[in-house]
Structure formats: structure tokens, C-alpha cells
Structure 1
Amino acid sequence: MKSLKPTAILMLLFFSISVYAQRNFDDVKITTTKLTDQVYMLVGSGGNIGVSVGEDGVFIIDTQFAPLTPKILEAIQNISDQPIKIVANTHHHGDHTGGNENIGDLGATIIAHDNVRKRLIDKSPKSALPVITFNDKLHLQINNEQVMVFHVENAHTDGDAMLYFTESNVLHTGDTYFNARYPFIDLNSGGSVNGYIDAVKSGLMVIDEETKIIPGHGDLSNKAEYFTFLNMLETVKIAVLQEINNGKSEDEVASNSALTKTFDNLGYGDHFINSEKMRRTFYKSLKE
């Protein structure tokens, strides 16, 4: 394995002055799941990471939180001794971009949608910023396959990207998919219920029954589970729209657990977004 330069090691070990300093990441373990001969999924704390390895170097999708960088690098070095060449961010949230500066300081090129750079530029050092941005879509040719990178509008945020590995048949959805749980739709960052539903439909259009899906959060998934997630979104949308049409207020909808009971019983609300937050978000977005 190639070793890191001493300056890089020092930077990683002493990265104690951080917006995440109050949070303890000591017990977080990075688990690695092999999806194909060259594509892997890393799970730790924050958004799930996609990794492509091969003769061109290492390509990763998202970087989780900054204090986890040493653990993430160790997990990657157990897969490949090649350097990280490219990082793609699926959106701007810190649990997906927090390690950008660390990885950027090691020489990686960061890619993201135009709006990701716009949202990071005032609060991030230069090495954490995307240096290649796109508006609609782009294609990467890396490790003997084409990776389709495409923007989905006003879904989780206003800068979401999905990535599809055309030979490996792997889709990384970013946070436009939370497997078996209610999603976080960031209305303050341009997200919307209708855009989120459209994003899932876009993802379903490029995959088949054999596709392995890396969701933004949750376990490795497949087309059947992805379709179930879409059904949940559309079912809740219909229920909330009916309440809006009946003149119900935001608080009345938020407190009406019957609207999401089917999915609450399946554990969708047992995570970051509970059922009350889900109903309130849907009301705010659909009422506009």
C-alpha cells in the first residue's frame, strides 16, 4: 500500500478544530461492502460512500464528516493502493461533504452540481470546493467504465446528483433515496416533495432488476425496494393533499398520525425524520 505523506498524516490526526468537534466519532466503524470487482459501498456516519477502484485510480462519491477521514482512507487503502483522484458530491450537506477539505488537500479533484459550489463557497476553504461543476449532466470515463452523472431538480436540495456506473450496474442516489425510512427534504435549500418524487422516477428509469443501489442513507438496495419507497412518497402525498384540499392547517396535518400509519408501522419514522416531521414537510411543500 502507498503511504500518506507526513504532512497529510499530521493534518488528519490534528484536525481537532472543526464544526464537528463536539461530536464523538471514536466509536464509528467504516464497513465495506463489495458490489462488483471494482465498485464498493462504505458505511460509517453520514451519507453512504461509493468507491470505484482500478487502473485510473480511486473515485469516490461523498466524504462524510471530516473527523472520519482517517478511517475512510484506511478502508479505501484496504481496497486499493491507488490514490484518490476524483470526488463527486451528491449535494452540499455536511454529512456528505465534511471530508472534502481533507481529501482535497491530498490532491483529489472535486466534482459537483453548480449549486453545491454556490452553497459551499462562503463557508468552506478552497480545497473543499468543487473545481468542476455542471448544470445538467456529465459523463466520467474512469476505471474502464462510463459513469453517468445527472442532476435532478429541487428534490432533496437544489443541487442533487445521481451517479450510474454503466458497466457495474450500480446507482448512487445521494439523499434522493433513504432506504426504508422517511427522507429529509430540505425545503430551505430548494428541495420539494414533487421534485423528490420526480427524482426517484428518474432513478428508476436508468436501472433494472439487477441494479445495486447505494442510497444516501440506509442499507444497500434494489429496484423493488426503490419502487416501494416511491409508493410511500406518492401515498403520503395523496393523503396530505386531500387534507390541504379539506382546509386543514399545518398543525392539524402534522398531528394526524393516520396519514402515515401504514409506513409508521413499517418503521419508516424510526430514524432522523419522524412521521410528524414528514407530514409537516409534505404540507409545507405541497401547500406552496
Structure 2
Amino acid sequence: MKTTEDHMDRRQFLTSAGLLAATMIVAPRSLFAQNDSPVTKIIGEARKSAITATKLRGDLTLLEGSGGNIVLLSGKKGNLMVDAGIDVSKEKIKTKIASINNVPLLYLINTHWHFDHASGNQWIGREGAKIIAHQNTAKWLSRRTRVDDWNYTFPAAPKDAIPTSLFADGHQLDFEGHVIHLKHYTPAHTDSDIFVHFQAVDVLHVADTWWNGYYPFIDYNTGGNIHGMIKAAEQNIQMTSPSTLIVPGHGPVGKKADLIRYRDMLVSIERAVSKLKKSGMSLKEVVAARPTKKFDDKWGKFVIGPDFFTALVYKGIS
């Protein structure tokens, strides 16, 4: 099993996840063909990708290779997962968990509703685990939902996949000696985002409010916005200390200094795009002006390319 230090290598993450070449997006959604959604590409890569395990702290393990980052808490009587990954990875995830701690899966926490974090809910629910989430996660999973910027419409999830333990603001779970704090953000990546804090070992899963080393996706169809992403980044920084181990939705595990760099990037790009848009520039003109240029080498080489991210920020500025 890898260690946390091994996991800090960004290029290693890209290789293990198997997503770099297949999901590079460098243009606004309007330029996609109908059958060229990144959703179908990411699901295809998940079919092929191995599930890798990285030891975090105490009895926590990071699982990668099926969409978003998954955290497994290994207890004496049962396991708990934060996020379920993509359903096509079911057997690989089950095999990996059994190799780490072969006890029943008792709890699943969804950080938000998106397919790369929650489409594995059904098999987990069918195995008897209690699924905990913000109430908006259940809302979006329960209905047919269009995400324009992915050029994809999601069908309503099966009954077994819908979280049954819901909260509006915050929730606390005591499990196997851990006090686990769950808290809802104001709308950021979506309107269903939560963080999960394992207090005893100071490990914080902030999900898709942070993409470590990459431009993030923002889902405007289900409540997300650039200003909320900046606010969530600020909140994450305030919650953490230099010793906190922070799990992003995508990318390597990081520390507070990494979050600060991410926040600063978001703020700088939002200001640049806002200035151009408010001067009267169209989206096409703002994209051509390359307001993200100084950040592209570090942040623009994964799922969301510079032009696409510029379009997402532009959309959120009134």
C-alpha cells in the first residue's frame, strides 16, 4: 500500500487515475458534439483503471481510480466510506476494500450528488450500508438532472442509491472511536457540497470544493457558482492548520499551503474575468484574451482546460 508521501506526486496521480489524455477539455461546452461529453469519457476510463490504496492517518485509507477521491475508515466491526466512486468500479472497489479490512460496510457518506462520487451508491445501499448526505444530494439524485456544461442528462437514480439519512446544515457521526463532523457549504461546486472532518486524526475531506493542482468544474445547473467556490476555499483555509491532512475531490492529498495557492488562483482569475466582462467583452473575446494565462501551466492540464474554466467563471459574473 502506498503512503501519503508517495501520494503527493501529482504526475503519479494522473497516471494511476488514467484520465489525463482521455478527458482533456480545452473549449466551452457549446463546442462539444452531443456524444462527446466528458462524463462518458470518465466512465470509460473508470472501467479500465485499477483501484489504488494510499495510507493516510490512523485507520484511514485513500482509494483512487474511480472518479473522485474515496476515503475508507477501517473499523473493527465495520467500514465507513466517504464517497462511492463510479458504479462501473464496483468489483474493483469491493476487492480492494476486502484486502484492507474484510468486514461489513456500514456507512457511506456522499460529499455531493455528482456521478463520479455517488453513482456507486446503489451497490453500497443494496449491501445494507446507511447512506448519509445533505438533503440536496438526495434531491438531485431523485430526479432527472441536466448538467449543460457536461452536455449530459442524468436519469433519476434507483431507490437503493438515494441517501436515507439527510441533514440540512450539519451532522455528527460517532463511529469506531471517531467523531466525524459533516457540514454543508453555501452553494459552491454544487448546492449539495459538504466537508467531512475526522477529528481524532485531523483529516479533512473537502471534496470538489478543491481540485488540487487543477482548474475545478462548477455546476451552475445545480447551484454552483464561482463566488461560492472562493468562499468555500476561504472556509477550508480557516478550518485547517499546517498539520491538517486535506483530501480534495480530485488531485493529490495536500496541506493548508496548497489550499491557499488554490484560493489565490481562483480570486485572481475571477477578478481578471470580471474586469473583462464588465468592460463589455463577449465570452469569445474574454476567452481569446487568455485571463488564466499565468496559471495554465500548473492548473490547466487536467479535466478542465483554460478556455473551459474561463467560460465557467464568466458565467458566474453578473
TM-score of the alignment, normalized to the shorter chain, above 0.5: yes
Deviation at 1:26, TM superposition (A): 4.4
Where structure 2 has 5 or more consecutive residues not aligned to the other structure, the ranges are 1-38, 144-155
Q: Within 1, Cα distance between the matches of 2:172 and 2:45?
A: 37
- Report the equivalent of 1:159: 192
- Over the matched positions of the two proteins, sequence identity in percent amounts to 36
1:1-288 alignment runs, 5 A limit:
23=44, 25-122=46-143, 123-257=156-290, 259-266=291-298, 268-287=299-318
Q: Compute the RMSD of aligned alpha carbons.
A: 1.6
- What letter corresponds to residue 29 of structure 1 in structure 2? A
Q: Within 2, Cα distance between the matches of 1:244 and 1:20?
A: 32
Count of aligned pairs: 267
More helix as a share of residues: 2
Q: Residues 188 and 139 of structure 1: is their aligned pair in 2 closer, same or farther, counting only changes over 3 Å?
A: same
- What letter corresponds to residue 281 of structure 2 in structure 1? K
Q: Within 2, Cα distance between the matches of 1:100 and 1:20?
A: 18
3-state secondary structure, aligned to 1:182: coil
Deviation at 1:179, TM superposition (A): 0.5
| Matched-pair contact (CA < 8 Å) for 1:186–1:192 | yes
| Matched-pair contact (CA < 8 Å) for 1:20–1:67 | no
Q: Calculate the TM-score normalised by the size of structure 2.
A: 0.81
Deviation at 1:248, TM superposition (A): 1.5
| Matched-pair contact (CA < 8 Å) for 2:77–2:104 | no
Q: Residues 76 and 238 of structure 1: is their aligned pair in 2 closer, same or farther, counting only changes over 3 Å?
A: same
Q: Residues 210 and 114 of structure 1: is their aligned pair in 2 closer, same or farther, counting only changes over 3 Å?
A: same
Deviation at 1:82, TM superposition (A): 1.7
3-state secondary structure, aligned to 2:200: coil
- What letter corresponds to residue 210 of structure 1 in structure 2? S
| Matched-pair contact (CA < 8 Å) for 1:240–1:282 | yes
Q: Calculate the TM-score normalised by the size of structure 1.
A: 0.89
Deviation at 1:55, TM superposition (A): 2.7
3-state secondary structure, aligned to 1:286: coil
Q: Within 1, Cα distance between the matches of 2:277 and 2:52?
A: 43
Structure with more relative contact order (C-alpha pairs < 8 Å, separation 6 or more):
2
Deviation at 1:110, TM superposition (A): 0.5
Q: Within 2, Cα distance between the matches of 1:219 and 1:178?
A: 9
Q: Residues 199 and 56 of structure 1: is their aligned pair in 2 closer, same or farther, counting only changes over 3 Å?
A: farther
3-state secondary structure, aligned to 2:314: helix
| Matched-pair contact (CA < 8 Å) for 1:56–1:142 | no
| Matched-pair contact (CA < 8 Å) for 1:48–1:215 | yes
3-state secondary structure, aligned to 2:204: strand
| Matched-pair contact (CA < 8 Å) for 2:46–2:67 | no
Q: Within 1, Cα distance between the matches of 2:284 and 2:46?
A: 36
